Amino acid sequence: MRTTAACADQRELPSLQRREDHWIGRFVAMGCPCEVLVDFAAESAATQVLNAVAECAWRIERKFSRYRTDSVVQEINQLAGKPLVVDDETANLLDFAATVTELSAGAFDITSGVLRRAWTFDGGNRVPAQRQIDSLLSLVGWHRVEWHRPVLRLEPGMQIDLGGIGKEYAADAAAACAEAVAPGLSCLVNFGGDIVASNPRKGDAVWHVGVERADSPDHASQVVQLSQGALATSGDSRRFVLRDGHRYTHILDARTGWPVRDAPHSVTVAAKTCTQAGTLTTLAMLQGPNAEQFLRHQGVRFWLQ
């Protein structure tokens, strides 16, 4: 059946299907398949949850996508050196991004999106020349940004890209929206593998979440039982460059412009929120061969491949 919510930007309406003990709603946002699982309840409640989750995802996509001409990110990227006063939600994301940059000693940086002009992680074999990367590194570095909340100014030619934190933020926000329209109802939000489960299910039931195999993304390496909390995964199973037998992950070290070396193919972390889980997966990948040691030090549940 189809839900009745209005669809943003002529998107296809979300679909809702009944399973034996839950509902599953599906839609597309942020360039990936999205779904919300709702513990068995009335169809009207499941529909409300699905619509709230989809609208939340679409709102965040409209506001923060670098692919849209009307997004805040595009407005920022077209400043050409001029200052801009941003709203509180944008400011919160910028503050968070700055914190992650500090925690990673600069390896993570939302200004590194310009490096996509050199790298295309489509499974091909093209590796850019060092001179091409060097020409872009002059436009990379949070230390080059003037950020005095709420005023932001980038140097001419610089850009930001919130893709490294946006989907996890959207998953947490969508879970909060689901809770707002159906308090206490157990829901699982899944935005392309970034997952949040809110409230325990009825009885002793749990949500079963498959962690995709790094070498075969359409198959699960294992199944995680999730009652409440979040899971996030980072890896190169779908986005990579393969050249002369060497696999280059899409996760770049913003300090060098090159993919992180000797990192796991996949890192999955469980945490209280998807934002926390996603941050830890990214920081772990940036540790390269020391990813496992880093995660053990954090005291979280994790899975490496």
Q: b/e per residue, 276-301, with b = 16+ CB within 10 A?
A: bbbbbbbbbbbbbeebeebbeeeeee
User: Over 60: is that where the pLDDT of 1 sits?
Assistant: no
Alpha helix ranges (H) inside 65-211: 72-77, 88-103, 130-137, 163-181
pLDDT recorded at residue 2 = 37
User: Quick one: CATH architecture of 72-160?
Assistant: Orthogonal Bundle (1.10)
CB 187 within 8 A of CB 37: yes
Q: Of 17-21, 89-93, 221-225, which range is least confident?
A: 221-225
pLDDT tens digits, 70-112: 999 999 999 989 999 999 999 999 999 999 999 999 999 999 9
Query: Predicted confidence band at 12 (pLDDT cuts at 50, 70, 90)?
Result: confident
pLDDT recorded at residue 76 = 97
User: Over 50: is that where the pLDDT of 7 sits?
Assistant: no
- Amino acid 27 reads F
How far is 257 from 255, CA to CA, in rounded Å? Answer: 6
Mean pLDDT of the chain: 93
Domain 1-66+162-202 has CATH 3.40.50.920: no
**For residue 179, with 0-12 CB atoms within 10 Å meaning exposed, 13-18 middle and 19 or more buried, which class applies?**
middle
CB 126 within 8 A of CB 241: yes
Q: Of 186-190, 218-222, 236-240, which range is least confident?
A: 218-222
At 290, list the tokens.
């020391």
**For residue 237, with 0-12 CB atoms within 10 Å meaning exposed, 13-18 middle and 19 or more buried, which class applies?**
middle
At 133, list the tokens.
């990367």
pLDDT recorded at residue 10 = 52
Mean pLDDT of 186-215: 92
For the chain, first and last CA: distance in Å? Answer: 38
pLDDT tens digits, 132-143: 999 999 999 999
Q: Which residue ranges make up each domain of the chain?
A: 1-66+162-202, 72-160
pLDDT tens digits, 168-184: 999 999 999 999 999 99
Query: Predicted confidence band at 26 (pLDDT cuts at 50, 70, 90)?
Result: very high
CB 143 within 8 A of CB 158: no
How far is 260 from 79, CA to CA, in rounded Å? Answer: 31
How far is 84 from 97, CA to CA, in rounded Å? Answer: 17
